[in-house]
Each structure stands twice: as structure tokens, then as C-alpha cells.
Structure 1
Amino acid sequence: MTADKIKFGTDGWRAIIAQDFTVYNVARVSQALADWLLASNKEAKVVVGHDCRFGGELFTEMVTKVLCANGIKVYLAKGFISTPMISLGVLKMNAQQGVVITASHNPPSYNGYKLKGAHGGPSSPKDIAAVEALIKDEVKIPAENLAHWEEKGLLEYVNLEDMYIEYLKTKFNFDELNNSPFKLAYDAMYGAGQNVVRRLLPGAVLLHCENNPGFNGQAPEPLDRNLQELSKTIRNTPELKIGLATDGDADRIGLYDEDGNFVDAHHIILLLVHYLHKYKGMTGKVAIAFSATDRVKRMAEKYGLPVEVTPIGFKYISEIMINEDVLVGGEESGGIAVKGHIPERDGIYDGLVIYEFMTQTGKTLKQLCEEVYEVVGTFVYDRNDLHIANDKKEAIIKKALDKGYTEFGKYTFNTIETIDGVKYHLDNGGWIMLRASGTEPLLRVYAEGNSKEQTADILEDVLATIL
């Protein structure tokens, strides 16, 4: 019997627990990782951990056993951890690799396997492809338990949460933040950021900061539709001035202003560039994924900062960050990295930078967004995820690539880009993008207009055209 082909997508391998994401398949990937590491380094060390998802401990145990059986030293995190904690741990422990068992923001039925490089960020696309190519159909499962490997000195337990918290204390003034005139609410979405915020900002109002491996049945993705309780809490509590949310493994961010309105990743990227450059005098390249707003280019141009647009997947941004001086690197889905931190998305770190911005300027999030609009103009972004059959999804993308769409209802466009998906630059200054998911029967439709009404109208016209 031929085993299933395991494929790494934009950010790791993800599959449904007990269907394809099995202990045996985790062993297959781990053996491939061991083979790849040992080919270039006989003394390899790997940091391993899992987030709050179902089965995390079981799967990390298998990763650890396979790596140790190959003579690879494993630093295993105690309890659940966030993805940025693993990346920081890899850097701090001088390890060659990190493995996080997480499916990030995916629905609760999924788990996944993320690879982190020695630089403290996602492994490069080239390295991931090399590991993937080594995955065999059959592997031998080691019989020895973890206690055996600990005794042999190949397994060491580490407290990555403490390490991460001590590190954050060197980056932010928590006395100042804890006395901020702006009270903060935090929604962990039952994810791996819950302990950190509780420990660092004891005055924060906490939502969904309990361990619930099924995330109460909802995908832990920090989108407005998934965070209505946070929005309502802010609207009903006048002293709350900012809402921060992070996804299942705490590397993605969502924000709310003092009125309980969602502040999306496009605005967060612009706020970070604005704060770090205009207020803190920092410089560097701005690296954005193809699905990010073009307003970032506008701001970078005004501030004299170079910009690079990458395919979708943070690993592409991370690669630029390792090799170049990058001020902010970010994607539309809420994965953002900033200068002065590791080349990794980190929802909590990004949230603290914005909270510091508010605290130091005495301005609310809404006022800071107004500052951004003064530079780039007002805009509203939205995205529609269409769950449609794969053949229909492929047909729409094929037509788009073949330039089969000449307009979308009343909306005409002047240029088309195809870096990753198909992006139409509209004559009204907005844009539309079509992109198929590589792993699910899903077509993503992105749109940006100058107002909420216009953006909703653009999406309506796009759907009427393509469906």
C-alpha cells in the first residue's frame, strides 16, 4: 500500500486529525527531517513544541522519539507554546531547527507541522522542499519512551514561555504599559498566547484564555466575524480602548479600536511602518505579501523606504528579513514581523508595539488610524472566502489567468498582476484579487474600496461575474 503524499503548503503541512494527520505520518515527516539534518550536521539540535490543539502532546512525543532515535538532541517545551516561542527558542539555544505541532488558524479538526530555521523564523522554501522530498512511505517507529532518551542525554525539557517572557521584558517597558491610560482587552481565541498576556499585562480584560483544544468549535482565526464577543466587550466597557486578538499559535494579530471596530492587518502594517519610521526614526525595507494593500507602497514611497512584494506565505518575507534590513514584513492574514525582533510573525509582539505607540503618544487607535489616512487616504478592505468545488475553483482561476475577465460589473481595471493569484488594479484606485487555496476547496476573493459601502459593492459585483 502506498502511503499518502505529504505536502507542505504556504506555512507547513496541515491535515485533519486521525484522517491524514496521524502519529505514523508525523513519524514519516520527522524521519525525513532527521535525514535532511544529519546530511549536513551530525550534531544537530532541534527545539520541539505544540500549541493548544487536540493531540499536540501525542504528536510532539512522536517527533521527539524519532529525532532522538536518530541521535539528534531535542529540546522539548513543557506544556503548550506559541510559534514565536519556538522560533525564539531555536535562536537562543543555537539549534539548527524548530518543529511546532500546530495548524495555526485552521478549524479544530486540523493539526499541522511547521518547520523553523536556525535564524529564528520559518524555514526557507528551499529547505522545506528538501525535507518534503525525503519523506518515505514507510518508517520504523522507535520503541523507547521519552524517559529513555532523557536518560541518554538526547532529550532536555525547556521552559520556552519563561524564556519568551524574559525576552519581552527587555524589549518593552511594562511598568509604562501597565499604567497606560488605555485599558486593553485580549482575546486568545483559546490559543497559545493566553498565559503570556495574563502574566505580562495583569490588568488586561481576558477573553477565551482557557485551555479548550476544540476552540469551542470555531477556527481560531483573528477575523472580525470570529471576534464579535471582543468587539461587544469593548463597546459595552467605556474604559476599554484597544482589543488585541491572536490566533491558535499566537503568530497572527487582529485589533479593535475604542469603538469596537475591527482594525485589519493592512491597517496594522501601515500603523507599524508609520510608528517605527516617523516616530522612532527607524529605516529599512518594507516587505509585503501580494495580498496586502497597495497603500503600503504609497506610504513607503512618501517615507523614502524600499518595498518588495512577495508570493503569499510568510516564509518568503522571512527569507528577505534574514538577508536584508527589513523594517516591517507583513501579510494580509495578520502575520507581521518588525525590526528589532526575530524574523517571525508574532501577534503578541506586534500588539505590544501598537499598545506602546498609543501609550507614548496619548492617542487612541482611531486617532492613529486617522494619521495613517492623512498619509495614504482612507480605504476599506474585505475578503470573501468561497467554499466551492475544486473544479469550479480551478476554472475561475484559469479564466482569470487567461485574461477572460474584462470588467467586474461596473468596476473596470487598468492593470493585472499575477505574482500569486490574480490582482486587478481598479480605475477607482481600489483593487480586486482572486486566489485559490492550495489545500482546500476554497476560492478567496479580496477587495479594497474607498468606503465600506463601495468595498461591499465591489465584492458583490465580483461574485456576480465569476459565479
Structure 2
Amino acid sequence: MATKIKFGTDGWRGHVAEDYTFETVRRCAQGFASYLLEEGNAGKWVIVGYDKRFRSEDFADAVAEVLAGNGLKVYLTEGATPTPVISHAVVAKKAVGAVNVTASHNPPTDNGFKVRDENGGAINPAGLTKIEALIPDDIADVKIKNIKEAQADGSVILFDAAVDYIAHIKKLIDLQPIKDAGLTVLVDAMWGNGAGWFTHLLGGGSTKIIEIHNERNPSFPEMKRPEPIPPNVDVGLQAAKDNNADIFLVNDGDADRVGFGDENGDFIDQLRAYGLLAFYLLEVRGERGPIVKTLSTTTMLNKLGKIYDVPVYETGVGFKYVAPKFTETNALIGGEESGGYAFRGNVPERDGILAGLYMLDCMVRTGKKPTELLELLFEKVGGEHFYNRIDTPFQGDKQDKIDRILAANPESIGGLKVTKLVTIDGYQFHLEDGGWLLIRFSGTEPIIRVYCETMHEDKVEAILQDGLRIAGI
């Protein structure tokens, strides 16, 4: 029986040599090619890029062979390239979409097949469903043109996507003040595609960029996975302390996400980071526009929306929901709890490089350190907000877990009264202090995620433990 390929929040991910093989990748590419052809894109250009995981460049070649075999033309990156750079190339090259061979922040055993639309953003759920349905069960139904033949006849062209992206970034932000600020910035590339980018963009001035984990190593030493959250960032945070860094920046494996540490080497959680980036755009830069947020991220955004009189739109988890709403509303910023943020003027895609630059720009413009910026944010939104999350594997039937959650009907969680249940994506219990507990299933792994945000630091653990009990764990 052929392996059935099921798309998650961004595309498809699997275990290398188990279900993620050259055959399944080629079948997946055929599904995307058929989708593009059905949309009337015969003979048009598609971007193909990849990360630094095991044999990603070879899987990318296989994708390019299938797209070329279907009469499409391919711009194939000449090296491992950050996801936001690949997405920008879609627009710069007037392509109709992209395939990115990456498993982002997944463990080293995995690789993935990420698809993008003509705007460089995530394809909406309906489009993903169509692609999935068009994936053939038999490799015999896949059309392939040998990569060397495709390069010889011009249907596959190698290119450097960095040139257009860097020119674009320089229109969005003045890099010179950051270069001249005399900061010490510790950057953790997590062995991934972000290596060298901040050094290249910010080198040549008094600001010092120190990089770690900036070589290729698909086993991702010193971390469980290249995901920019604790404990994966612990080595980087210690390096920031050791080097007396003013700020710590960390990108995930494909550099579409970003994490931060303050001048003391303490992690700034993703919800606070999103709040800071929105505050920077609204207060420091004086810009206005809608905010798009997933339900799993901070209510500080709702408060900022009221303060600055801008609308806030809430979506399900994943950029397949964020990107369409971001585009529809011409949003100022869009993002999610995982550390992925999109910005107006850029493509509707998470951009861990631009987000890092914006945070540095916020420090330079205000003359404040990260802890001082957080104090400003908390003063604006009425106090500190506390967040945490537990990810745990689960066994057994998913529907049984869902039934249990729906039947729980708790009056209180962590000692706080439950005010309502929202089921946009997962099961979010709103609490009396304006906080929340969310229980949802990962779209890419057999994992239950339990998240919470509250203004009561002493209740975080109790809220999470109640969430685990509600889910039967």
C-alpha cells in the first residue's frame, strides 16, 4: 500500500527513510504540480528551496524534476536558503508558488514539504486539501524530467535568492543606525539557514555580532530540535551571558521563526516578544494597521488594539490561517505563539530575520535594553502577563481525547473561574482574569499542546496541570 500523505498546518512532514522518501516526495511534488496546472499556471515559474537537513538539496532536486516534468519552470536556490527569503523570491521572480524542502523546527529525524502561493504566503486550507487530493498513490503516475536535462534546456535555473531579499529589507529598515549602535548581539542559528545573515546585514560597524551553531549539522547538537524555545535555547542563552550580550537572537532551522533573550541572558517568551514587536510598530514607529493573531498568542495584542484604535483579528493556529487574513486586511503585523511574525510591506510569511532586525531597531530608537522595553509594554497593557506551554505525546484514539475535553465542562481552572469555551482551533477556556487555557492537537506530530496565559504568575503551573487532567493526561 502506498504511504498516504496528509498535509498539516504548512504542508507535509515525515520521518526520513520511513515515510519521507524520494518516492513520496516526488508524489507530493506531482500533487502540487497538478494543483498549479488546474489553476491555469502551465509553463509558469515556481521557486524551489531547501534547508540544511539530511539530503535536503537532493530532495529539492527531486521536486524540481517533477515540476519540470509537468511543464512548469523552476528557479532552484543554489544553496540552503531561509524560508522568508524563498517566499520573497516568489514575488521578486513573479512566480506562481514555491516548494520549500524543510521540516522547520522538527527533530533531526524529519524533513518536510512546505508549499507557498503566488504571494509567497501559506496556502489556505482549501488549497491544501486540493493538493493533498491530487497526490497520486503510484509513482508511475509521476512525471519526471532529469535534473541535468532540465538545467540544460532552461526549465530549471539555479539562482541566489538573497540578492532581491536584501535589497527589499533595506527598503523596510535603515540598518546603519543598528550597525553604529555599538551593541553586542549573540545570534544562535540553530545549525540552520539563518547562519551568517545577521553578520552579513549588520557587519562593518561598531555593533558586534557573535554567532554560534552556524555550521551545517543535521543532528542538531546541544538541542532537542531547532525550535527557538527552552530548553533548545539554553546553550545560546548561556553564551549570551558569557559574552555580556545586549540581546540574544535565535532563529529556528529554516529561519522563519525567532526567539529572544534579554541583556541578562533570560529568555523572553514568544507572547511577550509578539507584544514587543506590535508595541514597536505602533508606538515607536507610529504606524497603524490591523493586528492578526492566532488564538494561542497573547491578549496583550487585544489591549494594544484598543489603546491604539486598531482592529485585532483572531484566527486558528498556523500561517495557513494567518496569511490569508493578513493579506485580506493589509495588516500591520500577523503572528502566532510559535515565534513566527509577518509584517506589512513584506510577504505574508513568517520572517525571523526581519523580526530580529526590528527588535534591534526598537532598542536603538528607544535607547532601551530588552528588560526596559518589557517594562514599557507592561505599563501600557496594565501589568505583567505570564505564559507557559507543555507539549506531551499521546497514545490512543484522538477522538476519545476530544470527547473527554468537551465533557469536562470545568467551572474553574487553576483556581480561576471559566467564563467561556472557544473552539476555533482546539479548546480554549477563557478565564476570569482575561487569561486563557488552550488544549490543542499538533497538526504535524502526535502531540497534545497545553498552553496558558494569565496575569497571576503563581497560577501558571496549576492552570497547565488542570489542562493536562482535562485532556486525560
Tell me the TM-score normalised to structure 2 length: 0.94
Alignment of 1:307-318 (within 5 A): 307-318=312-323
Amino acid at match of 2:225: A
Q: SS at 2:17's partner residue?
A: coil
CA contact under 8 A between 2:189 and 2:195: conserved in structure 1? yes
Cα deviation for residue 417 of structure 1 reads: 1.0
RMSD after superposition: 1.7
> Of the candidates 252, 258, 262, which is equivalent to residue 253 of structure 1?
258
**How far apart are the structure 1 equivalents of 2:212 and 2:457?**
28
Cα deviation for residue 327 of structure 1 reads: 0.9
Cα deviation for residue 409 of structure 1 reads: 5.3
Give % identity: 37
Q: Which residue of 2 aligns with 1:14?
A: 13
Amino acid at match of 2:183: F
Moved more, 439-448 or 21-30: 439-448
Moved more, 45-54 or 210-219: 210-219
Q: SS at 2:122's partner residue?
A: coil
CA contact under 8 A between 1:37 and 1:44: conserved in structure 2? no
Q: SS at 2:332's partner residue?
A: strand
Cα deviation for residue 411 of structure 1 reads: 3.5
Cα deviation for residue 394 of structure 1 reads: 4.1
Amino acid at match of 1:46: V
| Change in CA separation of 1:453 and 1:235 when aligned onto 2, cut-off 3 Å | farther
Cα deviation for residue 343 of structure 1 reads: 0.9
Q: SS at 2:349's partner residue?
A: coil
Cα deviation for residue 113 of structure 1 reads: 0.4
Q: Which string of whole-angstrom CA distances, capped at 9 and with x for unpartnered residues, describes residues 184-228 of structure 1?
A: 111011111112123113331111011112222631000021111
Cα deviation for residue 459 of structure 1 reads: 2.1
Q: Which string of whole-angstrom CA distances, capped at 9 and with x for unpartnered residues, describes residues 400-447 of structure 1?
A: 223443333534312111111111122233221111224433111112
CA contact under 8 A between 1:312 and 1:331: conserved in structure 2? yes
Q: Which residue of 1 aligns with 2:405?
A: 400
Moved more, 149-158 or 139-148: 139-148
Q: Which string of whole-angstrom CA distances, capped at 9 and with x for unpartnered residues, describes residues 291-315 of structure 1?
A: 1122211111111110111011112
**How far apart are the structure 1 equivalents of 2:362 and 2:90?**
29
Matched, 1:223 2:224: no
**How far apart are the structure 1 equivalents of 2:211 and 2:444?**
33
Q: SS at 2:291's partner residue?
A: strand
Q: Which residue of 2 aligns with 1:364?
A: 369
Amino acid at match of 1:20: D
Moved more, 448-457 or 422-431: 448-457
**How far apart are the structure 1 equivalents of 2:110 and 2:271?**
27
Q: Which residue of 1 aligns with 2:151?
A: 150
**How far apart are the structure 1 equivalents of 2:196 and 2:76?**
18
Cα deviation for residue 234 of structure 1 reads: 2.2
Q: Which residue of 2 aligns with 1:237?
A: 243
The runs of at least 4 aligned residues of structure 1 exceeding 6 Å deviation read none
> Of the candidates 366, 374, 378, which is equivalent to residue 373 of structure 1?
378
Q: SS at 2:286's partner residue?
A: coil
Q: SS at 2:231's partner residue?
A: helix
**How far apart are the structure 1 equivalents of 2:329 and 2:46?**
25
Matched, 1:164 2:165: yes
Q: Which residue of 1 aligns with 2:118?
A: 118
CA contact under 8 A between 2:437 and 2:452: conserved in structure 1? yes
Alignment of 1:293-372 (within 5 A): 293-372=298-377
Q: Which string of whole-angstrom CA distances, capped at 9 and with x for unpartnered residues, describes residues 85-104 of structure 1?
A: 11100100000011000011
Q: Which residue of 2 aligns with 1:199?
A: 200
Q: SS at 1:224's partner residue?
A: coil
Matched, 1:93 2:63: no
**How far apart are the structure 2 equivalents of 1:44 and 1:362?**
48
Amino acid at match of 2:271: H
* Structure 1: gaps of 5 or more residues: none
Q: Which residue of 1 aligns with 2:62?
A: 62
Cα deviation for residue 165 of structure 1 reads: 2.5
Amino acid at match of 2:430: H
Moved more, 434-443 or 20-29: 434-443
**How far apart are the structure 1 equivalents of 2:378 and 2:73?**
51
**How far apart are the structure 2 equivalents of 1:143 and 1:10?**
27
CA contact under 8 A between 1:181 and 1:359: conserved in structure 2? no
Amino acid at match of 1:53: R
**How far apart are the structure 2 equivalents of 1:305 and 1:211?**
42
Q: Which string of whole-angstrom CA distances, capped at 9 and with x for unpartnered residues, describes residues 250-273 of structure 1?
A: 001110011111112211221122
Q: SS at 1:390's partner residue?
A: coil
Matched, 1:186 2:187: yes
Q: SS at 2:139's partner residue?
A: coil
Amino acid at match of 2:36: L
CA contact under 8 A between 2:315 and 2:322: conserved in structure 1? yes
Q: SS at 1:293's partner residue?
A: coil
CA contact under 8 A between 2:70 and 2:144: conserved in structure 1? no
CA contact under 8 A between 1:222 and 1:254: conserved in structure 2? yes
Tell me the TM-score normalised to structure 1 length: 0.95
**How far apart are the structure 2 equivalents of 1:247 and 1:173?**
24
Q: SS at 2:449's partner residue?
A: strand
| Change in CA separation of 1:390 and 1:84 when aligned onto 2, cut-off 3 Å | farther
Cα deviation for residue 235 of structure 1 reads: 2.3
**How far apart are the structure 1 equivalents of 2:145 and 2:115?**
24
**How far apart are the structure 2 equivalents of 1:30 and 1:441?**
24
Moved more, 62-71 or 434-443: 434-443
